């Protein structure tokens, strides 16, 4: 059975009385070259435990299962579970879970698997890309690596460098090193999405940054509160209002603090590097 065939996909969905859900971002992979490029890029071995998110019909799951030691696949749509069970019935190394990955307490459920290092390999529904990445990077047990098919524009934002930084870029690059491995056209999926895709590798750092993450992101969010305004303005207004306790510095004090650590107060937040933000956090502390 060829799960990259539109005809086959339509037949399977019709048999189950299912229509692809726009709400759940169901766009099925129909390009075999892209499918096998995902598998080869993720460098899956018989030692790997793989977490897959949003498997859909199991097109990617099937190929992962041939190479991995264990596959744990989490699907939100209950209608897809019976299809997945049929697709993967010959694979004893696959565990299918019906649930919302953003609400799922995977750390307690998956116990021994997640006490070891694991990889995430997923063709992510577009609407959950940012929250999924944040959830796992901020986790007590982050993955060894993440390999994600996402919107091309989002991948480019995640991998951005100064002067094109954003909160998303800072949020990912604080915890990990992101890299675009290849790009895929919107024609590689059915129903066809409106945007092209990119396959992203995110490798978490082995050691956390030596700075308090809560304070770090409080300052970053204040800095980006009005992206076109000067950094000193944003920090003086954003931090004064930031709960639970504002950092009580006026604009002139913040300007002095910035100059003391070699940052020009008039620049915009998008120009700062991760190291700049870390310096700034330590200065406020």
Show the low-confidence residues of the chain (pLDDT under 70).
107-116, 241-248
Specify the pLDDT at position 250.
81
Residue pointed to by tokens 């700049």: 276
> Which residues are within 8 A (CB) of 36 and not within 5 positions of it... i.e. 6 or more apart?
63
Specify the pLDDT at position 244.
46
Q: Which residues of 152-182 are buried (b: 16+ CB within 10 A; e: fewer)?
A: bebbbbbbbeeeebebbbbbbbbbbebeebe
Specify the pLDDT at position 1.
82
**CB-facing half-sphere around the CA of 1: CA atoms within 13 A:** 15
7 CB-contact burial (10 Å; exposed 0-12 / middle 13-18 / buried 19+): exposed
Answer yes or no: pTM beyond 0.85.
Answer: yes
Domains of the chain (ranges; CATH) run 6-204 (3.40.50.150), 213-284 (1.10.8.100)
Phi, psi of 224 (to 5 degrees): -95, 5
Give the Cα separation of 12 and 93 in Å (integer). 23
Specify the pLDDT at position 141.
84
Question: Which pLDDT tens digit goes with each residue over 183-196?
Answer: 999 999 999 999 99
Specify the pLDDT at position 251.
85
Specify the pLDDT at position 108.
62
């Amino acid at each position: 059975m060829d799960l990259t065939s539109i005809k086959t996909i339509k037949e399977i969905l019709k048999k189950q009385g299912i229509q692809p859900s726009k709400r759940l971002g169901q766009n099925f992979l129909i390009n075999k070259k892209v499918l096998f490029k995902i598998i080869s890029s993720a460098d899956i071995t018989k030692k790997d435990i793989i977490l897959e998110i949003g498997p859909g019909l199991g097109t990617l799951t099937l190929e992962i299962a041939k190479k991995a030691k264990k596959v744990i696949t989490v699907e939100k749509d209950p209608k897809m579970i019976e299809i997945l069970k049929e697709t993967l019935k010959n694979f004893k190394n696959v565990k299918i879970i019906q649930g919302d990955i953003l609400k799922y307490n995977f750390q307690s459920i998956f116990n021994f698997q997640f006490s070891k290092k694991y990889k995430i390999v997923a063709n992510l529904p577009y609407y959950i890309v940012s929250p999924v990445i944040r959830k796992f990077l901020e986790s007590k047990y982050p993955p060894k690596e993440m390999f994600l098919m996402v919107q091309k524009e989002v991948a480019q934002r995640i991998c951005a460098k100064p002067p094109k930084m954003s909160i998303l870029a800072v949020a990912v690059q604080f915890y990990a090193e992101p890299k675009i491995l290849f790009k895929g056209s919107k024609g590689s999926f059915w129903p066809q999405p409106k945007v092209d895709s990119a396959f992203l590798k995110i490798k978490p750092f082995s050691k956390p940054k030596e700075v308090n993450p809560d304070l770090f992101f409080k300052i970053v969010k204040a800095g980006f509160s009005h992206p076109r305004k000067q950094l000193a303005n944003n920090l003086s207004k954003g931090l004064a209002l930031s709960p639970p306790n504002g950092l009580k510095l006026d604009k002139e004090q913040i300007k002095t603090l910035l100059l003391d650590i070699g940052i020009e107060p008039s620049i915009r937040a998008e120009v700062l590097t991760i190291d700049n933000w870390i310096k700034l956090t330590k200065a406020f502390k």
